[in-house]
Structure 1
Amino acid sequence: MLFKFKEEGIRVEVEYGILDISEDPYHGYKPEHLLVASIAGSSAKEFTDLLELHHTHVDDFFIRTEVKKDPKDDHKMTKIKLHFVVKGRNLNIDKLYRLLEQARQRCMISRALENSVEIDETLEIVSLR
């Protein structure tokens, strides 16, 4: 990837298109938002792959994230929380917890950060009738 510096921030061209990075929300994505989106996106991809592999149907799921920073150093993330909300019928909670743990082990982004930032994953199941 080639990162080009401009007055408002940084621009990088990737396969999907142009990505602008800036601390100013009017000129691009904040770097910390990209990091959290990378973790959530990679975790979601691994989780959905495992759901499919294990023939586990869910009607919907989403992830809420929360970031904690060091109170003494606003430039340091200490914890990223990923709260998975899974909706479906006849879901096996033990199986979903196992698959979520396996997804964590397969998530390249989470694994790269595991020694520097605490990544906490929680699971909530919404039973549909």
Structure 2
Amino acid sequence: PYQLLVSSIAVCSGGTLRKILEKKRLQVEDITIKTDVGRNEAKANRVEKIHLHYLIKGTDLDEHKIERSIEVASRNCPMVQSVKGSIEITETFEIVK
């Protein structure tokens, strides 16, 4: 089912992001990922869009560093790179307290 595809992309992206944030020595306590999926009913309910929204909890987090880290994570996540060109993946984040 498509939920497994979406879950694998979210988990891969989140894990890669966490590693990058740790390397930048950012104090991250928790990352929650919410997903929104766009499917095309006319083409066998094909997954065409996945939006990942990261809820990042931590102390003294720099928005610019997080934004840059998400870009780097996207380029280094094998699951995202596997579907590149066939599924549009967008990402946003917010810092939660």
TM-score range, shorter chain: over 0.9
Higher relative contact order (CA 8 A, sep 6+): 2
Aligned equivalent of 1:42: 12
Report sequence identity in percent: 36
Alignment of 1:1-129 (within 5 A): 31-126=1-96, 128=97
The count of aligned residue pairs is 97
Give the TM-score of the pair, scaled to structure 1. Answer: 0.71
Give the Cα–Cα distance (whole angstroms) in 2 for the partners of residues 74 and 88 of structure 1. Answer: 41
**Partner secondary structure for residue 28 of structure 2:** coil
- Relative to total residues, which structure has the larger helix share, 1 or 2? 2
Specify every segment of 5 or more residues in structure 1 that has no aligned partner in the other structure, as ranges. Answer: 1-30
Deviations 1:33-88 (A, max 9, x none): 11011101110110111111111111211000111111423421110111001112
* CA RMSD, 1 decimal: 1.1
Q: Report runs of 4+ in structure 1 exceeding 3 Å deviation.
A: none
Deviations 1:105-129 (A, max 9, x none): 0001101111001001111112x3x
Specify every segment of 5 or more residues in structure 2 that has no aligned partner in the other structure, as ranges. Answer: none
Greater Rg over alpha carbons, structure: 1
